[in-house]
């Protein structure tokens, strides 16, 4: 029996259908096909996540060609990054930083006001 995908890669539970995945070209099956892919700059590809099966297979669609692939998740995930998930996490970080960003804006406004009020004094001293 195959290891459940969430045991190999817990973040899979946060993946959504249509997520953009950057991964090793699934057509690379050996050393010579890897060399060929390197030669033409086709080692990594962008895929859209479609589904994952209970027997440990992932179904992805090549974003460029529209071709569907069913590959062993354990092999696929070794060289894969879910770009969409990373973007969602960064967007959440931006949302969570709003309080600190407001503090920075308030400080900058106070600093600018203080600097503006000090300029006439500096001009008078010269």
Examine the domain organization and report whether 70 and 101 are in the same domain.
no
Examine the domain organization and report whether 94 and 74 are in the same domain.
no
CATH code, domain with 58 = 2.30.30
What pLDDT score does 51 carry?
95
What pLDDT score does 23 carry?
87
Cα radius of gyration (the chain):
25
Average pLDDT over residues 75-91: 92
Phi, psi for residue 40 in degrees, rounded to 5 = -100, 5
The structure tokens listed for 54 are 């209970």
pTM of the full structure = 0.70
What pLDDT score does 124 carry?
63
Q: What does the angle CA 10 – CA 95 – CA 9 come to, to the nearest 5 degrees?
A: 5
Domain that holds residue 19: 5-82
Examine the domain organization and report whether 76 and 98 are in the same domain.
no
Element housing 109 (H / E):
helix 98-125
Examine the domain organization and report whether 63 and 100 are in the same domain.
no
Examine the domain organization and report whether 14 and 63 are in the same domain.
yes
């Amino acid at each position: 029996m195959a290891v459940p995908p969430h045991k190999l890669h817990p973040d899979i539970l946060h993946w959504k259908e249509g997520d953009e995945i950057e991964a090793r070209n699934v057509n690379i099956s050996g050393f010579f096909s890897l060399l060929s892919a390197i030669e033409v700059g086709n080692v990594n590809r962008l895929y859209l996540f479609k589904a994952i099966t209970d027997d440990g297979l992932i179904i992805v669609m090549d974003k460029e060609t529209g071709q569907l692939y069913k590959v062993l998740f354990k092999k696929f995930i070794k060289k894969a990054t879910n770009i969409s998930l990373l973007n969602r996490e960064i967007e959440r970080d931006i949302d969570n930083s709003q309080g600190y960003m407001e503090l920075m804006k308030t400080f900058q406004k106070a600093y600018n006001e203080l600097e503006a009020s000090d300029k006439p004094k500096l001009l008078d001293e010269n």
